[in-house]
Amino acid sequence: MSPVVHRMTLEKSIDCGDADIKARERGAAEPFIVKMLIILLAVLTVAAPVASSAASVVVGTTPITIPDPRGFTPITSEMRSVFELQKQALPPNIVQFGAYISVSEVQEALDDAGAPNLDRRFDVGAARKSLDRDFKPAEFPQLKVMIKTQNEDLVNKVKQQLPHFMENLNSYVARGSGIENAISVMDVITLPPHEETARSISYSLFEKFNVKNNSGTPTAHVAVATMTFLYVNGKILILHCYAEPEALAWSRTALRQWADAIIAANATFESGDRRH
């Protein structure tokens, strides 16, 4: 579902003035878990998923239109295995508004015996603590400064929290497959922010981890996750795009296009009485 763990994915709980660093730390871990979950679909004997489309969400009391990423469609509860695995990787301080798989994988996702390719996927959410808060235009630049100057420290803190996440995830995997300690994280490599606009800041992660197959043999995997903090309608959304390691450039381009589409879809709201 997400690369190198989404989505443990930048759970960033932007708390009032100091942008709640803790939430963000857990978010970074997110990418690892999600990607691992994707691989585990071939290990777990769970039912399969379904797709649907939801373009409008409410963040706190603010409506935000979120178009589907081009070529992708929302994951729904009918896509049982993907949906359940994804829930296991979602941090408690993050509220997710949508997760998306490729349209080409929908049939496999709906087939109980199918094995959809989830290397590439998207999701969007927000820090739970930030839902009811309206951010002023002057506050987003402060968040961007924090990300640029403290990112390495935040990722190191996330690494310290990984054992707890992995314990919970491995317990879930063991219940469905009988495989103990199926996932182990080897490393997380964070790249510097590669793009910044008045409304966004983006950077990527490489995650290295081992996943055991049905016979208990571990195999090494690498995944990439690109993340964007997006300021829209006075809220800060967290976007993720997951991909195989050789598709770093694609993940960055695709996520930028999705962020642009979200901003465009909310242009009418922002041109009204509430200007953010």
Give the per-residue pLDDT at 241: 96
* Cα pseudo-dihedral 153, 156, 160, 164, rounded to 10: 100
Read off the DSSP letter of residue 18.
G
Read off the DSSP letter of residue 222.
E
b/e map of 95-134 (b: 16 or more CB within 10 Å)?
A: bbbbbbbbeebbebbbeeebebebbbbbbbbbbbbbeebe
Read off the DSSP letter of residue 3.
S
Is the per-residue pLDDT at 23 higher than 70?
no
CB-count exposure of residue 195 (10 Å: 0-12, 13-18, 19+): middle
Q: What angle do CA 90, 96, 98 make, to 5 degrees?
A: 120
Q: What are phi and psi of 125, to 5 degrees?
A: -160, -170
Is the per-residue pLDDT at 100 higher than 50?
yes
Distance CA 208, CA 221 (A): 6
The alpha carbon dihedral of 45, 50, 54, 55 has a sign of positive
**Length of the chain counted residue by residue:** 276
Q: Who has greater pLDDT, 260 or 22?
A: 260
Region of poorest pLDDT, from 91-95, 113-117, 214-218, 252-256: 113-117
b/e map of 14-42 (b: 16 or more CB within 10 Å)?
A: beeeebbbbbbbbbbbbbbbbbbbbbbbe
How confident is the model over 220-245, as pLDDT tens digits? 888 899 999 999 999 999 999 999 99
Distance CA 131, CA 125 (A): 10
Residues near 251 by beta carbon (within 8 Å), at least 6 away in sequence: 120, 204, 224, 225, 226, 241, 242, 243
Read off the DSSP letter of residue 246.
G
| 3-state SS class at 198 | coil
> Residue 62 — very low, low, confident or very high, per pLDDT cuts 50/70/90?
very high
Is the per-residue pLDDT at 202 higher than 90?
yes
How confident is the model over 25-61, as pLDDT tens digits? 334 334 444 444 444 443 332 323 333 354 689 999 9
| 3-state SS class at 6 | strand
| N-term to C-term CA, the chain | 32
How confident is the model over 137-190, as pLDDT tens digits? 999 999 899 888 877 777 777 677 667 767 777 787 788 778 888 888 788 888
